[in-house]
Amino acid sequence: MLDATLHDLIDPRTTSHFYLDGRWVPAAGPERVRVINPANERPLADVALGSAAEVDRAVQAARAAFSDWSGRTPAARARLLERLHGLLTQRSEIFAQVISREMGAPLAAARALQVPLALEHLRVAREVALNYAFERSEGTLRIRREAIGVCALITPWNWPLYQITAKVAPALAAGCTVVLKPSELAPLSALLFAQAVHDAGIPGGVFNLINGDGPTVGAALAEHPEVDMISITGSNRAGVQVARAAAATVKRVTQELGGKSPNLLLPDADLETAVAKGVLAAFRNSGQSCSAPTRMLVPQAQLAEVERLAAATVASLVVGDPPAPATTHGPLANGAQFARVQELIESGLAEGARLICGGPGRPEDQPVGFYARPTVFSAVTTDMRIAQEEIFGPVLCLLPYGFVEEAIAIANDSRYGLSAHVQGRDPDQVAAVAARLRAGQVHLNYPAWNPCAPFGGYKGSGNGREYGVHGLEEYLETKAILGH
């Protein structure tokens, strides 16, 4: 079953098929998952779920294709990535329409962010493959960087295409073959991606797609002895389960997991700019980004002004139907996430945080759909759940501090360490504070997104890095040849 609004965008047959060894193969079993449009809570599609046997078939196809694919020159692989990039560019509007429907992104945001940023990963991977030194000499020592092998890639629902290209592009550029398991909650853009891979002429078995849930397909991939590496973006719980399942076969595991990123406003920060941009950064993609700076650390003396500026920025947001041109924020991506966000908003109220705007429930003009009210809490302390747990929704916490040393301690008081922000006028002080933050990325005064900047976390935010050269190297082994 496929919603009528999608019939012109996606082949309805693919929802009951998997892409294996270069062709669409009917799912063997009857298991299906219903994909829900979060804007109206109506069914979009029933998508087949795979089994361990189908995972094995996909892995064997990837294993059979590995020798030829890894043996091709980087330039040959780059040419196919360029062709794939061209096809996705041509189909960008189709992808934007599907992403908007399956996970609720405003159509304008899908067009401006979800799809273009995904395309950047393909472009960068191609360029890295063309310029990377896969071999180099150090006297009589020869160093070779070789593709690790068959890679299982597990991607989430919040940036569905973006997360796929962030993993698939460098893996293919490195010479690996892959089995992709996209989120079963937003799998439709992945089906479109698989068709583009096919149309680009990438050889059979190099890329394979199995839809499925974590306990079945995810576990089968993590445990499979013929999978050499598994890369997962998801929750900490899922990351731990994958690592445990993978341990018995000693495969490489990279994890991009949760975050609770601080945004430290130094006493000399330009509040008019820093607060407005900070609210928008925290609420980008309706707050459903692991790197969202959802803890804003504010000098105590400036807290009242920050509250005023934050409330004014929230008042300018338009929560509404994703296709509407005026909409800045759509619904949360699914019912489970909506329920979690509501639970944590109620927790903030119960623990004594001061509600500045928003709060529990849907906006008054949105009685249907998984719409959350953009919410700002102030007077938040580090022992509150909303200061420690990843909410993954449009909820910002204002945490006051007395002096900069205290602010640094608050920023680092988290089990996460994915990203951090620092705002201030003195570049030397900004840089000095950044050096002391335990995070994989630190953004100074809201710089532009950089697709080559390594992305990954400290502590509970995972291990390994994605994007650019560092992302490519995660898919490579190092071989030393002595006496060359």
The contacts of residue 53 (CB under 8 Å, 6+ apart) are: 28
**295 Cβ neighbours under 8 A, 6+ residues apart:** 260, 261, 262, 263, 380, 387, 397, 399, 410, 411, 414
Please tell me the distance from the alpha carbon of residue 113 to that of residue 156, in angstroms, as a whole number: 16
Contact status, residue 433 vs residue 448, Cβ threshold 8 Å: no
Q: Which residues are catalytic?
A: 256, 290
| Residue of 265, 283, 266, 270 whose CA lies nearest to 357 | 283
Structure tokens at 398: 């204002």
Q: What is the H or E stretch that residue 351 is in? A: none
User: Over the range 285-298, which residues count as b (16 or more CB within 10 Å of their CB) and which as e?
Assistant: bbbbbbbbbbbbbb
- CA 400, CA 297: separation in Å to the nearest integer? 6
Give buried/exposed letters for 434-460 (b at 16+ CB in 10 A, else e).
beebbbbbbbebeeeeebeebbbbbbb
User: DSSP of 131-149, one letter per residue?
Assistant: H--SEEEETTEEEEEEE--
- Please report, for residues 98, 301, 444, the alpha-carbon distance to residue 406 in angstroms, rounded to integers and kept in the order given: 45, 14, 19
SS3 content of the chain, % helix, strand, coil (to 5): 45, 20, 35
- CA distances in angstroms from 28 to 18, 51, 180, listed in the order given: 10, 8, 18
**Rounded distance between C-alpha atoms, residue 159 and residue 103, angstroms:** 9
Q: How far apart are CA 436 and CA 464, in angstroms?
A: 20
> Over the range 88-107, which residues count as b (16 or more CB within 10 Å of their CB) and which as e?
beebbebbbbbbbbbbbbbb
Report yes or no: 151 and 67 within 8 Å, Cβ to Cβ: no
Helices (H), 232-376: 236-247, 271-283, 303-315, 335-350
Asked if 22 contacts 203 with a C-beta cutoff of 8 angstroms, the reply is yes
Distance CA 162, CA 55 (A): 23
